[in-house]
Amino acid sequence: MHQLSKALHTVRVRFSFPGTPFAYSIASSALLYQRSISNQLCPSFPSSTHKRPYSTAMGSVTYENKGAEGIPYYTPAQFPPAGTPEDAVNAPTLFTPLKVRSVETSNRFVVSPMCMYSADDGHLTDFHLVHLGKFALHGAGMVMVEATAVEPRGRITPQDSGLWQDSQIEPLRRIVDYIHGQNTKAAIQIAHAGRKASTLAPWIGGTVSKTVADESVGGWPTDVWGPSTIPFAEDYAAPHQVTKEEIKQVVQKFAETAQRAVKAGFDVIEIHGAHGYLISSFLSPLSNNRTDEYGGSFENRTRIVREVVAAVRAVIPDTMPLWLRLSATEWMEYNGQPSWDLEQTTQLAKQLSGLGVDVLDVSSGGNNNKQQIKVTQTFQTDFAKHIRKAIKAEGLPLLIGAVGGIRDAEFAKKVVQAGGADEPSADYALVGRQFLREPEFVLRTAHQLQTPVKWPNQYHRAGPPRSTSKF
């Protein structure tokens, strides 16, 4: 009886009409309101996807409130997922699906990986479940877990997410299960902080004018690794120049972490090669003055990218998409010294498809504390557009993700819109801070673009009336 109850989880609602009682249960709240006179409270959805009769008796019609498949507990199936347009044919590209290998997102919104500095010895907690879960619930096509360290010394702070040991798999699996329960895709960014490791959480460092986390607070300032002995800034730990054997160890750590991510159930893995962390710091001659096969020429400085990508691609399923985040520039062109720039990023991007990378996530900066960023709303999406154009010109299959400045509906639409006079900047729109400000950014964007989309089943009453411009 318990199993039947769990499988069907039927809710019976009784209404009295003149002459006869009428009892029935509903597959979801959306069905009830679609059939009711209160339809103005929410968008309507095709009844065929929600109505599941399984028995009739004595004037009663019963419908199954079907549970999400593959989830170890009951939660109503979100089919289609929140953020799916009612009219897919006429919807903006932003609200259309995109399939890479075996993984299809319902729309082009991706929650960008954002460090929370809130993990317990690398283990994610209920905070992360709530934090990430709300984005999945509110319609993001994919939710990406923050930079997750491949080894303890690869954390930015002592409270960073980690996946260097098996005990860290289960806390991540809980989050993946919740995201999947909303019919949304789950991704994880795997990373090594390199010379920017062993620092304090930003809200602490900013109050005490101190950056380095010493041993008294769980830091490791004497065991920070980098391509050279050049620190990120004066108030950061001086890095140890990694040996070639240690580079091999790091590459292997990325592969082992990727294997654990697969066990946790993630759909997508992203390698973090941006923002001045270990891989990124190898790319720039300003932070890498090595004279061996990992320094000097473009081919040598980018060698670690090829090795990490190859190691990860070799241990994950062929059906799993692999992403890579790079900084398109380190914003140091002004000083006239050789640095990492857009031209080199584009050159590297042209190699990625052949290495097994499916999506290049284009960001910028973070490798030099003297960077001079020219901030506009398009300051990073322009880089993505440049790279995408170069990739398409050579007929390469690499897709592009753009991040930065995507905080309003019209701009989000423009970033990925296909078929217009202007080519899109990217194939995916990665959104960070705006999701922190507004977890329902997908739903608000749909409303502002006059694109009716499905809301979460449980929240359908909050769907905006179509007769008003208010959200």
CB 175 within 8 A of CB 265: no
Q: Is 277 among the catalytic positions? A: yes
CB 368 within 8 A of CB 341: no
161-162 and 103-105 beta bridge pairing: unpaired
CB 142 within 8 A of CB 184: yes
CB atoms within 10 A of CB 314: 10
Q: Compute the CA torsion angle 131, 135, 138, 139 (nearest 10 deg).
A: -160
Q: Active-site residue among 24, 277, 294, 428?
A: 277
Residue among 169, 170, 150 at smallest CA distance from 160: 150
What gap in Å lies between CA 313 and CA 389, rounded to an integer? 25
Q: Compute the CA torsion angle 161, 167, 172, 174 (nearest 10 deg).
A: -140
Q: CB within 8 A of 420, min separation 6: which ones?
A: none
Residue among 162, 156, 294 at smallest CA distance from 227: 294
Q: What token pair was written down for 282?
A: 């190898």
What gap in Å lies between CA 166 and CA 122, rounded to an integer? 11
Residue 39 has, within 13 A of its CA and on its CB side, a CA count of 9
CB atoms within 10 A of CB 312: 27
The dihedrals phi and psi of 268, each to the nearest 5 degrees, come to: -140, 145
What gap in Å lies between CA 268 and CA 186, rounded to an integer? 7
Task: Assign 338 to helix, strand or coil.
Answer: coil
Outline where 275-302 has alpha helix (H).
278-283, 298-301
240-241 and 20-25 beta bridge pairing: unpaired
Q: Specify burial of residue 349 (Cβ count, 10 A radius: 0-12, 13-18, 19+).
A: buried
What gap in Å lies between CA 449 and CA 398, rounded to an integer? 28
What gap in Å lies between CA 456 and CA 138, rounded to an integer? 7
Interior/surface letters 154-188, b for 16+ CB within 10 angstroms, e for the rest: bbbbbbbbbbbeeebbebbbbbbbbbbbbbbbbbb
Residues belonging to the active site: 277
